[in-house]
């Protein structure tokens, strides 16, 4: 009798898992999310490296200012109307990258996890509604180079002058190595 009750409880718990009945679509979301977020990281990373090499942080910052957003839109377009991609942050530099709605609480939760010593997962998935998901790839300040533009930028007066002109509401400074900077969000409609 006890055994039956346990089995029943387990079966109900499994049925209550929103992903259990949709394992295939969940797997497809993860696959697409990984593909699109990697494509964006590659595009931005490659261009950033090129500009850092050619003209240092100020040149690279100008590149980010004029092109990071449009390159992101370019990747967004590439994957058709059922997939969109963007970068978000709680402390955004470009106001178009501000986290909105659930995105905020998801980033806050990731910060709380990190504060509790959790090594962040490489992605989390939000089920937005019956056929739409958001795949989040956390972006960590994982390289010293990030700090040139997101750390203590007062060390570089030329750069901080550029940032205060280009982004009067810049919130994306004061980070340390290992901090959660934000996320890439890939929204996928199936
Ligand atoms: C040369 C300067 C520079 C470096 C180095 C740099 N960034 Fe940025 N970053 C920027 C600029 C400028 C923006 C705003 C781009 C825009 O206008 O869309 C930005 C925006 C972002 C955003 C989008 C959210 C927001 O605040 O608008 C994320 C996430 C981000 N950077 C993460 C990183 C990470 C992680 C690294 C290290 C791997 C890094 N950045 C290195 C200049 C830089």
Pocket of ligand 1 (CB under 6 A): 57, 60-61, 64-65, 68-69, 87, 89, 92-94, 97, 139, 141, 143, 145-146, 148-150, 172, 181-182
- Ligand 1 probe mutation, 37, 150, 163, 165, most atoms within 8 A of CB: 150
Pair 181, 149: CB distance under 8 Å: no
The total number of structural domains that make up the chain: 1
Domain for residue 13, yes or no? no
Q: Which atom of ligand 1 is nearest to the CA of 69?
A: 18
Pair 21, 15: CB distance under 8 Å: yes
Domain for residue 5, yes or no? no
Residues of the domain holding 93: 20-189
Residues 6+ apart with CB under 8 A from 19: 26, 127
Domain for residue 40, yes or no? yes
% of the chain residues with pLDDT over 90: 86
Tokens of 71: 């390159």
Domain for residue 80, yes or no? yes
The CA 18 to ligand 1 mean position distance, Å, reads 35
- Give per-residue pLDDT as tens, 67-103: 999 999 999 999 999 999 999 999 999 999 999 999 9
**Helix 69-78, helix 23-63: angle, nearest 10:** 150
Pair 128, 187: CB distance under 8 Å: yes
Tokens of 80: 């058709």
Domain for residue 2, yes or no? no
Taking CA atoms only, the protein residue closest to ligand 1 atom 43 is 149
Domain for residue 12, yes or no? no
Domain for residue 175, yes or no? yes
Whether pTM > 0.75 for this model: the answer is: yes
What pLDDT sits at residue 23? Answer: 87
Instruction: Please determine, for residue 16, whether its predicted confidence score (pLDDT) is greater than 80.
Output: no
Pair 87, 72: CB distance under 8 Å: yes
């Amino acid at each position: 009798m006890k055994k039956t009750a346990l089995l029943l409880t387990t079966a109900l718990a499994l049925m209550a898992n929103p992903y259990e009945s949709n394992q295939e679509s969940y797997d497809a979301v993860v696959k697409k999310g990984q593909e699109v977020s990697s494509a964006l990281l590659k595009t931005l990373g490659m261009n950033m490296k090129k500009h850092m090499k050619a003209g240092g942080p100020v040149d690279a910052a100008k590149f980010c200012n004029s092109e990071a957003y449009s390159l992101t839109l370019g990747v967004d377009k590439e994957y058709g109307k059922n997939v969109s991609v963007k970068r978000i942050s709680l402390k955004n530099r470009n106001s178009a990258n501000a986290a909105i709605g659930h995105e905020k609480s998801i980033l806050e939760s990731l910060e709380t996890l990190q504060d509790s010593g959790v090594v962040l997962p490489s992605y989390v998935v939000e089920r937005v509604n019956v056929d739409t998901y958001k795949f989040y790839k956390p972006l960590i300040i994982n390289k010293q180079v990030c700090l040139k533009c997101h750390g203590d930028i007062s060390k570089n007066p030329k750069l901080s002058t550029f940032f205060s002109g280009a982004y009067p509401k810049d919130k994306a400074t004061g980070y340390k190595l290992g901090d959660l900077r934000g996320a890439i969000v890939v929204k996928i409609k199936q």
